[in-house]
Amino acid sequence: MYTSRYVRKDQRRYIEINGHTGGCLACGYFGALSGRAHNAITCRACGVTQCEGLRDTCYVCLYGFVLSESRAGVCGYAGCGKPAVAKAPRVGRCCKDCLGRVKARRSGGATLLKVIAHSLETLDRDWTVWHPPVEG
């Protein structure tokens, strides 16, 4: 019924200490869920599965889209036209092939590809995998 996904460690720890408080079963954030979990969505740039939130971009890498392909649009580089996977400075959005061309803001000149790779390298520091309860 539910899919395993990454959730913030600090939020899971809060749930473990205080018990489930009526929000999402996985991430603990509130909404009209009452004991259910958010839908699981996958970032189109980094590939991390997470809870569907209130934003259009990934909670882990901060750049990747968690939108459907039609809502994400196409790459902003002239002549590219491939489906966009991430928001990008200057061009608005970029495809998977163009992630190495875009310089991320406030990153010391690193490309989006490097910033996203760094996010994945440090994933286990701040995030943990939530496995759905076994029904039976």
CA-to-CA distance for 38 and 53, rounded, in angstroms?
8
Structure confidence at residue 67 (pLDDT):
81
Structure confidence at residue 114 (pLDDT):
93
Print pLDDT tens along the chain (136 aa): 678 888 888 877 767 766 666 677 777 776 656 667 888 899 999 999 998 876 788 989 989 999 877 788 999 999 999 999 999 988 999 999 999 999 888 778 889 999 999 999 989 888 988 888 776 5
Question: Assign residue 92 a region: left if phi > 0, alpha if psi is -120 to 50, beta otherwise?
Answer: left
CA-to-CA distance for 90 and 77, rounded, in angstroms?
10
Structure confidence at residue 19 (pLDDT):
66
